[in-house]
Amino acid sequence: MKGYTRYFRNRILWYLLTFVVALVLNFVLPRLMPGNPVASIAAGVTESLTDQKAAAEMLEEYTRAFGLDKSLPEQFLVFIGNLFKGDLGVSFRRYPTPVVQILKESVPWTIALQLPAILTGWMLGNLLGAIAAYRRGVFDRAIFPAFLFVGAFPSFGLAIILLFVFGIMLRVLPTSGGYGFDLIPGFNLQFIASAVRHYQLPFWSIVLNTIGGQAIGMRSMSIYELNADYVKYSRFLGIRDRRIVGYVFRNAMLPQVTGLALSLGTMVGGALVAETIFSYPGIGSTILSSIKAQDYPMISGATLFITVGVLLANLVIEILYGFIDPRIKANQQE
Amino acid sequence: MKHRLRTTFQNTNFLVGFSILIILLLLTFVAPLFMQGSPLDMVGTLFNKPGNYVNRMGVIDAPKYPMSIEVDSIRLGAAVSNEEAAQMLEWFEKSELDIEWKMLNPAKDHAEIVELFLANYDDSIRLPGTSAYRKGFTRLYLKVQNLLSADGYVVQVEDSSSDSGYREVTKIQSRDFTNVKDVPARRFFLLGTDNFGRDVFHELVSAIGNSLMVGLIAGSIATTIGLLIGLTSGYVGGWVDNLLTFVTNMFTVIPSFVILILLSYSISSSSRSIVVVAFVIGLTAWPWTARSVRSQTLTLKNRDHVNISRLSGFGTVRIIVTDILPYVLSYVVMAYILQISSAILAEAQLSMLGLGPSTTTHATLGLMLSWSMQFQAPLSGAWWAFIPVVLSIALISFSMNLMNTGLDQVFNPTLR
Amino acid sequence: MADYILEVNDLKTRYVTRFRENVYAVDGVSFKLKEGETLGIAGESGCGKSTLAMSLMGYYFPPLHYTSGSIIIDGREITGEDPEVLRRTALGTEIAYIPQAAMNALNPTRKIIKYINDVLVAHNIRLNKKELREMAEERLRLVNLPVEVLDRYPVELSGGMKQRTVIAISSLLSPKILIADEPSSALDVSSQKLVIKMLLDLIDKGLVKSMIFITHELPLLYNVTKKIAVMYAGQFVELGPAHESVFEPLHPYAKGLMGSIIVPSEGIRDEHLVAIPGTPPNLKAPPQHCRFAARCKFRQPLCDSVVVPERFASDGRLFRCLLPEAVLRELKYEDQIKSKQEDAEVELDVNIIPFAGDNGDGDSGKESGG
């Protein structure tokens, strides 16, 4: 077990460090840009408000939250301090709702949508890719370009097409929102049914895109593994084909797990934009409206959350990976 | 090298991908030669559907050719929708008049239904139901009332010398025809117009060009940075490698999408031109290339020819350029192609979030998509405003992926 | 009990490439092996010896395909048998295989004991945990491996340990014939000897009845195996008792191959591949006449126009050359056949056999070059 402990400790430390770098980036990027938007935005937003009192309040709140009257290093300390208190400032767009409050409303929607969608797409894609590699022939020749083509559609592109076909032409599924606009979220059958119906289109647009990309990767990994020496040897030992396919599938999956970790950021990005197509009440839509409303605290908070989410997901994947690939343990023992 | 190039072009995947890309590129160069004005001229109105538009005054002025072609039923048929035809059938049923209507299909027999409706409709028959319901039938009757008139239309201009104040210019009979070519003012919208009344096809063609440019700039930047970092990291080794690998891995895991948002947001929208956006994308996309170049360099580092060069006392830079670079080139080309296509996607993503290039003179695929979504094109049924754009993005990406697969097969052949 | 433990008659197999081209890697190989005998097969890389090793298993999967010929193990003809029956009752039990790259031959993500169990289960042998462990431990001891190996993953083993593990697994079901494809190529010289000794021990202990070694390291083999075959372009060009085949080769190619390795002490061991100029023919379209003719120092005009059959010398050795046995026995690889005039005077003592136009694949017609 010593090898594992060391591996996990290393990985956790590494991710903590990465998190710190991400924090610094989140803080520094908008502040170091010419014109320093963080300083100038508040002025812009308050100007457009007619209620002078509210504008003054907002400006004060903004100065407080971001420590604008202080130097850059001090601002960073304020930023970190606030972060640990769970204070990400107050949204301009929905003044005076705290950013954390808005995140709390939208995050569950995003997680409930993206986690199952990406996992489903990943699993289906791997399965189809492995089948294509194993069956070869017509199945492979027909399905490979199909994967490639579907995978070439960004998930928001698929979202638009699905929305148009199923939501508008065929009118079988709702086109916008996370649930019927006439319903109040609650644990009742009507609400759940509505939420499930609203879930379909965003879900499948993410799944389809993920399937395409993953199947291609899995197909070539499986072909590589099928040509591996251990496959030939196992065959000559008389081991059943089905068992050998099991070996190949498992071994080809391993790089796909790492691949998932590496491409998670890109996938989440695409999926967030797909959310906006359906005005799904998740973080994607929140970012879109925050950008439109120049709601800097909200943008900063949301991007920070996405970063943390992706880093955490990566960490979980890497830890799981440590358990399923014996090579990790072996490497640590040297 | 020549042999490689030949086998590359014999690869079906590569060839198909390359052809698609070349066709798209040709389109962006050739199509504008046949277009009038700038791609962003607002020529039409909100979401005009695809087709050939001719000037209505021009039709009146153009020579007329009376023809013996049956047009009444065509006009009747085109005048009402399937729903309206069904509404008429409903009236027949409810009015309980003695009408043979049961055989008629509301999806096909428009002309017969309208004819029957015009002949039998009677405003004095009171149907059961609300008054709004009854008024619907009255409105329908008024709409189709004129259709059967064989007298045609009279076109008049104002004329104060005339008693009525109008002077007749011409009569338009139902069987009058005009050759479309005789109408001087026409415009063909292959893909209709967008929310601002701009020619979608013209816009699309220039947007493909601009998006490819974004991809090329961003891809070149990302590839250059990634190549430099990967080569240095892989060849120099030691703490330099550790540091660079650490940074590279970090930026692979921190979602580049987030950095893109923060960077783009920080650049004031007035200075966010297409080139600037491309730069920003390029600056965030290099880690992938760096990783793959580094691992390739590592495998090459201890090859004999590199060792010989090292023993001969050649400098690091020289060894990298002459002994390593040529061997990683195939991977770099493949990574470059992927960078281009992912940069095009990144631009589209940013634009969808309102952080794309802010320009009123140039369109990109992302901007077009963003505009059509903001103006609810899907709800208006204006498929031409977004489906071709989505397809173009997918086609570019598809063609590049195909080329990449082809290159992969050429460079890493496996017997299967 | 049949006369021979292994009988191979005119075996022909081919690869089918992605582009649907045939590569005739094994093209008419015949030999017989008695119980307890060992055969060494030598040749340059690409001559088809590894393919022959796989073809002898009788179990074909893409890209390798069976064309014709027969393999008879202890009286049982395995060619033509249902692959599923063959898998269950012959692979591993009648005939087993040790792959060339033993380092990568084990599934990296499966513990050795589980893998051993997979092999047993595939042959309907179901043992409980204790029996399985006992049996596996016994086999590991045979190859001098510590029993801890059973609970390791292949990645946790050293190269030599993996090699021995593979040997233990291949001989697990006591196959009658064991085919070892370059069993020692990745090891240093002393480990090589150890591995070969370990393999021969398997015969002594009665676990394996007969063995075939495939190698290009002939010096390791000639005093180990009873017979040696020299393979060139998918065919045996020489097959005879080990000592004679090495020290008095008949076929010009065998002379070239052996000439350079006889005296390893002179340190020219690795030169034998360059010693014979030229490259082997393209096996996608092998020449119909003598396959070695293009590189042969002793080539005669006829060599380019007739099919060379397998011929047998007075002592029963097989050789595939048109030159008379007597001439071949006298010739040294260093010799020159003096001049062009004299060339013609060397009498070829076989009847001229015209082009058969049959290469086992229906690929008739004239030579399409190589």
pLDDT in tens, B237-272: 889 999 999 999 888 888 888 898 888 888 877 788
Residue A175 inside a domain? The answer is yes
Residues B88, B119: Cα–Cα separation, whole Å: 12
Residues C312 and C277 reside in one and the same domain: yes
Q: Total structural domains in chain A?
A: 1
Residues B16, B21: Cα–Cα separation, whole Å: 9
Residues C223 and C265 reside in one and the same domain: no
Taking an 8 Å cut-off on Cβ atoms, the answer to whether A152 and B259 are in contact is: no
Please determine, for residue C184, whether its predicted confidence score (pLDDT) is greater than 70: no
- Give the least confident one: A27-41, B195-209, C292-306, C326-340: C326-340
Residues B377, C315: Cα–Cα separation, whole Å: 91
> How far is residue A6 from each of residues A13, A235, A315, measured CA to CA in Å?
11, 37, 15
Q: Which of B340, B353, B355, B383 to mutate to test the interface with A (most CBs of A within 10 A)?
A: B353
Please determine, for residue B281, whether its predicted confidence score (pLDDT) is greater than 70: yes
Q: Report which of A104, A109, A117, A101 is spatially closest to residue A276, judged by C-alpha positions.
A: A109
Encoded tokens for C28: 């008419």
Encoded tokens for C255: 């002379």
Q: Looking at residues B187-197, what average pLDDT do you find?
A: 90
**Cβ pairs A/C, distance under 8 A:** 80
The whole-number pLDDT of residue B148 equals: 65
Interface residues of chain C, partner chain A, Cβ below 8 Å: 54, 57, 59, 61, 87-88, 90-93, 96-97, 99-101, 104-111, 118-119, 122-123, 153, 155-156, 166, 169-170
Positive or negative: CA dihedral B264, B266, B268, B273: negative
The whole-number pLDDT of residue C224 equals: 79
pLDDT bin (cut points 50, 70, 90) of residue B200 is very high
Residues B44, B193: Cα–Cα separation, whole Å: 6
Residues C190 and C336 reside in one and the same domain: no
Residue A193 inside a domain? The answer is yes
Positive or negative: CA dihedral B267, B269, B273, B278: positive
The whole-number pLDDT of residue C272 equals: 42
Domain boundary among C194, C229, C264: C229
Residue A60 inside a domain? The answer is no
Residue C314 inside a domain? The answer is yes
Residues C254 and C298 reside in one and the same domain: yes
CATH 1.10.3720.10, chain B: domain bounds: 2-52+194-415
Please determine, for residue C367, whether its predicted confidence score (pLDDT) is greater than 50: no
A281: cis peptide before it, omega within 30°?
no
In this structure, what CATH number is given to the domain that contains residue A222?
A: 1.10.3720.10
Q: Report which of B371, B353, B359, B364 is spatially closest to residue B392, judged by C-alpha positions.
A: B364
pTM above the 0.95 mark?
no
DSSP state letters, C260-289: TTS-GGGT-GGGHHHHS-S-PPPTTS--SS
CA atoms within 13 Å, Cβ hemisphere of A199: 16
**C329-338: long-range contacts (C-beta < 8 A, 24 or more apart)?**
C329/C248, C329/C250, C331/C252, C331/C255, C331/C298, C332/C255, C332/C259, C333/C252, C333/C255, C333/C256, C333/C258, C333/C259, C333/C297, C334/C259, C336/C297, C337/C297, C337/C298
Contacts of B11 in chain C (CB under 8 A): none
pLDDT bin (cut points 50, 70, 90) of residue C270 is very low
pLDDT bin (cut points 50, 70, 90) of residue C301 is confident
Residue A79 inside a domain? The answer is no
- Write out the residue range of the structural domain in which residue C39 sits: 6-229
Contacts of B265 in chain A (CB under 8 A): 30, 37, 291, 296, 299
pLDDT in tens, B98-108: 777 778 887 77
> How far is residue C151 from each of residues B119, C107, C108, C136, C272, measured CA to CA in Å?
93, 14, 13, 11, 43
B378: cis peptide before it, omega within 30°?
no
Domain boundary among C229, C258, C282: C229
Interface residues of chain B, partner chain C, Cβ below 8 Å: 415-416
Residues C112, C134: Cα–Cα separation, whole Å: 14
Residues C304 and C218 reside in one and the same domain: no
Residues C180, C57: Cα–Cα separation, whole Å: 12
Residues C291, C155: Cα–Cα separation, whole Å: 43
Neighbours of chain A (3+ CB pairs under 8 A): B, C
Q: What is the ipTM of this complex?
A: 0.87
Q: In this structure, are residues B73 and B111 in contact, taking their beta carbons and an 8 Å threshold?
A: yes
Taking an 8 Å cut-off on Cβ atoms, the answer to whether C122 and A238 are in contact is: yes
CATH of domain B2-52+194-415: 1.10.3720.10
- Write out the residue range of the structural domain in which residue A225 sits: 99-333
Minimal Cβ distance to A288: which of B256, B354, B390: B354
> How far is residue C362 from each of residues A188, C17, C288, C356, C358, measured CA to CA in Å?
74, 18, 13, 11, 6
Q: Is B161 helix (H, G, I), strand (E, B) or coil?
A: coil
Residue A30 inside a domain? The answer is no
Point out the residues of chain A with pLDDT beneath 50. 334
Residues C27 and C90 reside in one and the same domain: yes
Residue A9 inside a domain? The answer is no
